[in-house]
Structure 1
Amino acid sequence: MAGEEGPTTGSGLFELDAVVVGQPKRSRWRRYVGPALAVSTVQGTPLAWVTYTDDTYSVLTTTSGESIVRIEQFGPAKFRFTDAADREVGTAGARGFAKTRQLRLQTEQGRRLFLTRPGLLHVEWHLTETDPDGGPAPEILGRVTVSTIDSWIGLQQYVVEMGPRLDASERRTVVASVVCLHLLRRPPGASTAPA
């Protein structure tokens, strides 16, 4: 599931096997005014930016400014994804007290996926088609691994690996859900300590 050199268009972003979603590095001494998150290849080539328009909306755009996905947050842990034509292309939501333990996803075609962290101390989430808590261990379709890239400021980075059983529209839902995961772990305006 290694990443390849990335294309420059939004649709090509979702053909990659792996991308990195993370907070851009910034000066410790000056107020940061850039995008909230950057999406890049594993090798570091920038592909897209995520900006927060307000407390409800986030927008994923290519580095050239083309809108790819708009993420709307309903309540504390429910999200809806729309494309540039304002069509719904997926959803994500969490339930329960530990909202960063599992996200339930639905793709544009209606496929249900689960992004689940095996335990609260794990740094890796598993993408599966069935709920891991509901029976035998399901096949892992992808992984999201989080790390801290600047411990002083507390910047987070998510490596998103996606298997060949996911098409481009499903990968779009997974990448958008990682943005949601970041919002749940560190909401805009919250302290720098991750949940």
Structure 2
Amino acid sequence: MTEPGLFELESVVVGQPKRSRWRRYVGPALAVSTVEGAPLAWVTFTDDTYCVLTTTSGEFIVRIEQFGPVEFRFTDAADREVGTAGASGLVKTRQLSLRTEQGRQLLLTRLGLVSTEWHLTETDPQGGPTPEILGRVTVSTIDSWTGLQQYVVEMAPSLDACERRTIVASVVCLHQLRRPPGASASPA
């Protein structure tokens, strides 16, 4: 099972670990930590289409498989599908459609093209009355010299652990979609 509290926390940070400017970085591509900075899990890329989320002790949590440029599937240790994420439209990072293990449909929508915040809702914020916000994802640059990004993920208390796992995995997908064209999936 996962580290205590990983998907029970209402806020986590998914970010690129700090690197030395002078040596080649060989650690995980992304780290999941508490807001205070305590490490919870690592994301490592196995190749250009797969990455794996594991606890800091190395225990498998979820595998993220990328199909084409904007479709992702999440599987557990038994190779069962536990969620999906996908984007559509001209701006691939404006909205991700998520489906949890229980089949719940969620949307992670950026507020504007230059906005650094995404809202998690069940309905499209552009399509009618203001929906209930179930979470927020805010991106920031933590090292402008190397361009390292971090995503603060805030989730409503009403979300269960399976839904939170899908949301954290979708933030990994969001990071992959936001990489510059031609950027390698493996850590540089």
Distance across 2 between alignment mates of 1:187 and 1:179: 15
With over 3 angstroms needed to count, the CA separation of the structure-2 counterparts of 1:33 and 1:54, relative to structure 1, is same
Name the amino acid aligned to 2:46. Answer: T
Matched, 1:172 2:136: no
Query: Is there any run of 5+ residues in structure 1 with no aligned partner, and where?
Result: 1-7
CA RMSD across the alignment: 1.5
Deviation of 1:12 after TM superposition, in Å, equals: 2.8
Match of 2:64 among 55, 62, 71: 71
**Percent identical:** 83
Matched, 1:119 2:112: yes
Matched, 1:158 2:151: yes
Match of 1:57 among 46, 50, 59: 50
TM-score by length of 2: 0.94
With over 3 angstroms needed to count, the CA separation of the structure-2 counterparts of 1:36 and 1:189, relative to structure 1, is farther
- State the match for 1:88 in structure 2: 81
Name the amino acid aligned to 1:15. Answer: E
Name the amino acid aligned to 2:158. Answer: R
TM-score by length of 1: 0.91
Structure scoring higher RCO (CA < 8 A, sep ≥ 6) equals: 2
- State the match for 1:136 in structure 2: 129
Count of aligned residue pairs for this structure pair = 184
- State the match for 1:149 in structure 2: 142
With over 3 angstroms needed to count, the CA separation of the structure-2 counterparts of 1:143 and 1:155, relative to structure 1, is same
Distance across 1 between alignment mates of 2:137 and 2:100: 17
Deviation of 1:136 after TM superposition, in Å, equals: 1.0
Distance across 1 between alignment mates of 2:113 and 2:181: 22
Deviation of 1:29 after TM superposition, in Å, equals: 1.0
For the residue of structure 2 that corresponds to 1:116, the secondary structure is strand
Query: Is there any run of 5+ residues in structure 2 with no aligned partner, and where?
Result: none
Deviations 1:99-137 (A, max 9, x none): 000000000000000000010111100000111121111
Give structure 1 regions of 4+ aligned residues with deviation exceeding 2 angstroms: 8-12
Deviations 1:121-156 (A, max 9, x none): 111000001111211110100000000000000000
Deviation of 1:189 after TM superposition, in Å, equals: 5.5
For the residue of structure 1 that corresponds to 2:153, the secondary structure is strand
8 Å CA contact 2:2, 2:61 repeated in 1: no
8 Å CA contact 1:11, 1:168 repeated in 2: no
8 Å CA contact 1:39, 1:46 repeated in 2: yes
